[in-house]
Amino acid sequence: MSWGYKPNNGPQKWVENFPIADGVRQSPIDIVPGQASYDAGLKPLDLKYDPSTCLDILNNGHSVQVTFADDTDSSRLTDGPISGLYRLKQFHFHWGASDDKGSEHTVAGTKYPAELHLVHWNTKYASFSEAASKPDGLAVVGVFLKIGGENPNLQKLLDAFDTIKSKGKQTSFANFDPSTLLPGCLDYWTYDGSLTTPPLYESVTWIVCKEPITASSGQMAKFRTLLFSADGAAPDCMKTARVKNEDELLSKWCSSSS
Ligand code: B30
Ligand code: ZN
């Protein structure tokens, strides 16, 4: 059985096939702003994205992912907490079954309805797959989505969802500028962490934007029309929240009676 988000294959079970799940720099985490230390040496992020590197949009069975050509430096991240140049490989989202949960990171316990991840790899390595397991291999920019006005830039993606409803479906997605999904202010929190899904490599410099972007409740509902399941199988709506606290409650709480 492959990994997923159900009780029988979800985050609490991942350790059985991916022992690094018990590692020391696992993501996501709860970010407690008052406990973060101010680092005057941190530079502003320098993100440059070329819309012509945008290739396609894919339902990979655990998220919706937009993939970029990464054979040149045209779409890249520099500065911020990282050194060197990291190329954009893909972005994807995590969301919940309802608007009260869905983000992976939380801010002082607050869950957002969704979280966008822009995944970049360090060009000191030869490729994404080589970088993915290295301690300084990846830099992921996380952006929270909160409920607010309809987001026209997000809508361009959502309009493609009917075509990629089930697992394995893919369609071309040309000329999309991912910087249109970034908040106006690029202030961030950063820490050394991991991939939040298998293979859970401890290879990610996390850069989590403090300012969320907005999506309407109707737009959030559109995410939940995507399916984990392939065509022909029983439809199974995709919701990819780890819901960390609930997982922990399930596994750690004991009762003195049944
Ligand atoms: S995340 O940003 O920490 N959520 C991967 C990339 C970013 C994150 C998590 C995982 C990743 O590259 N996983 C391995 C590659 N995947 C393909 C993929 O791009 O999404 C292979 C796979 O499962 O078997 Cu999924
Ligand atoms: Zn992610």
Q: Which residues pair with 118 in a beta bridge?
A: 91, 141
pLDDT in tens, 207-227: 999 999 999 999 999 999 999
Predicted confidence band of residue 246 (pLDDT cuts 50, 70, 90): low
* Pair type for strands 138-147 and 204-209: parallel
Measured in angstroms, how far is the CA atom of residue 91 from the centroid of ligand 2? 8
pLDDT tens for 77-117 read 999 999 999 999 999 999 999 999 999 999 999 999 999 99
What are the pLDDT digits (tens) for 110-159?
Answer: 999 999 999 999 999 999 999 999 999 999 999 999 999 999 999 999 99
pLDDT score at 54: 98
Quote the ipTM score: 0.95
For residue 139, CA distances in Å to 20, 75, 203, 219, 241 come to 19, 13, 8, 27, 21
Q: How far, in Å, CA of 125 to CA of 11, rounded?
A: 29
- Average pLDDT for residues 14-31, to the nearest whole number? 97
Give residue 254's pLDDT. Answer: 46
Averaged confidence pLDDT in the chain: 94
- In sequence order, which ranges of the chain are alpha helices (DSSP H)? 14-17, 128-131, 152-158, 217-223, 244-252
- Residue 47 and residue 179 in contact, taking contact as beta carbons nearer than 8 Å: yes
Give the pLDDT band (50/70/90) at residue 258: low
Residue nearest to atom 22 of ligand 1 (CA): 198
Q: Is the pLDDT of residue 66 over 80?
A: yes
Query: Which atom of ligand 1 lies nearest, measured to the CA of 117?
Result: 2
On the question of pLDDT at 44 being above 80, the answer is: yes
More confident residue, 204 or 250: 204
252 pLDDT higher than 50: no
- Supply the DSSP string of 13-58, one letter for each residue: THHHH-GGGGSSS-S--EE-GGGSPP-TTPPPEEEE--GGGEEEEE
pLDDT in tens, 156-178: 999 999 999 999 999 999 999 99
**pLDDT tops 70 at residue 255:** no
CA of 107 to the centre of ligand 1 (A): 23
Residue 247 has pLDDT above 80, yes or no: no
> How close is the Cα of 90 to the center of ligand 2, in Å?
10
Q: Is 140 in the pocket of ligand 1 (CB under 6 A)?
A: yes
Contact of 70 with 132, CB cutoff 8 Å = no
| pLDDT for res 242 | 83
Q: Is the pLDDT of residue 58 over 50?
A: yes
H helix and E strand count, the chain: 5, 13
The pLDDT of residue 253 is above 60: no
Using a pLDDT cut of 90, give the percent of the chain over it. 93
What pLDDT, on the 0 to 100 scale, is given for residue 250? 45
What are residue 171's DSSP bridge partners? 57
Catalytic positions are 62
Bridge-based pairing of strands 86-95 and 30-31 is unpaired
Q: In this predicted structure, what is the pLDDT of residue 251?
A: 43
Q: What angle do CA 238, 75, 203 make, to 5 degrees?
A: 60
pLDDT at 244: 55
pLDDT band of 256, cuts 50, 70, 90: low
CB of 119 within 6 A of ligand 1: the answer is: yes
Decide: 197 in ligand 1 pocket, CB within 6 A: yes
